[in-house]
Chains A and B, each alone.
Chain A
Amino acid sequence: DTAVSQTPKYLVTQMGNDKSIKCEQNLGHDTMYWYKQDSKKFLKIMFSYNNKELIINETVPNRFSPKSPDKAHLNLHINSLELGDSAVYFCASSQNTGARDTQYFGPGTRLTVL
């Protein structure tokens, strides 16, 4: 059983399009995250949600909108895609909020914007 799953694994799209990435965790965790990993492997947090409530919202363009329909799901919708959005996006989850909690990562979604 996959603990944190993401779909799709690969996403290739044109500039200006709108796309969504889905994330689901079956660990019963209360907190979920989205990270962006750029071409130099630098990993940076974008958002976190706890019990469907937004906790962390880094300086991310408002073209990025996370949506948490329930505790087990955190989707990422991106409007008007730009070349600079090309990256690998990782979803993660942890039992609670707080930097102490171990985060469990999904396999990533490689987004390529042409």
Chain B
Amino acid sequence: AQSVTQPDIHITVSEGASLELRCNYSYGATPYLFWYVQSPGQGLQLLLKYFSGDTLVQGIKGFEAEFKRSQSSFNLRKPSVHWSDAAEYFCAVGARNTDKLIFGTGTRLQVFP
């Protein structure tokens, strides 16, 4: 069965600094991979997704993520963080033979001015 690990529960960065949020998955084949963001009191919004092809995917709000098969990772990056990026970030995995998304436990991002 597939699983997702987000090793960092909480990350704090200064505004303008670069950001990398880690995501590792377990699945026998190439899964569908997603990053969602949850702002306080809000539902989840899709940032980006990877199905196949180019391993570097661009998303909304200046985010990108890179799929690395050898490391079973799909890390989220942003070159310069804005205060409005403070939120909870979830990585999710979808298996190609199921209808389910499996979510990681999330990484809470705090941004200091």
Contacts and interface: CB of A to CB of B under 8 A. Distances in A.
A99 B105 contact: no
Interface residues of B, number: 25
A90 B16 CA distance: 32
A29 to B, nearest CB: 13
B105 A41 contact: yes
B99 A98 contact: yes
Contacts of B31: 99
Q: Which residue among B41, B49, B101 has the maximum number of chain A CB atoms within 10 Å of its CB?
A: B101
Interface in B8-52: 31-32, 34, 36, 41-46, 49, 51
A30 to B, nearest CB: 12
Nearest to B97: A99
B23 to A, nearest CB: 14
B26 to A, nearest CB: 15
Interface residues of A, number: 24
A44 B103 contact: yes
Interface string A90-108: 1010000111101111111
A48 B101 CA distance: 11
Interface stretch (B69-77, B78-86, B88-96): B88-96
Contacts of A41: 88, 105-106, 108
Given A99-B32, A100-B51, 15 more contacts: A40-B105, A41-B106, A43-B106, A45-B101, A56-B99, A90-B44, A98-B94, A99-B31, A99-B95, A99-B100, A99-B101, A103-B101, A105-B43, A105-B45, A106-B43
13 contacts: A41-B88, A41-B108, A48-B99, A56-B100, A92-B44, A97-B99, A99-B94, A99-B95, A99-B96, A102-B46, A103-B46, A103-B101, A104-B46
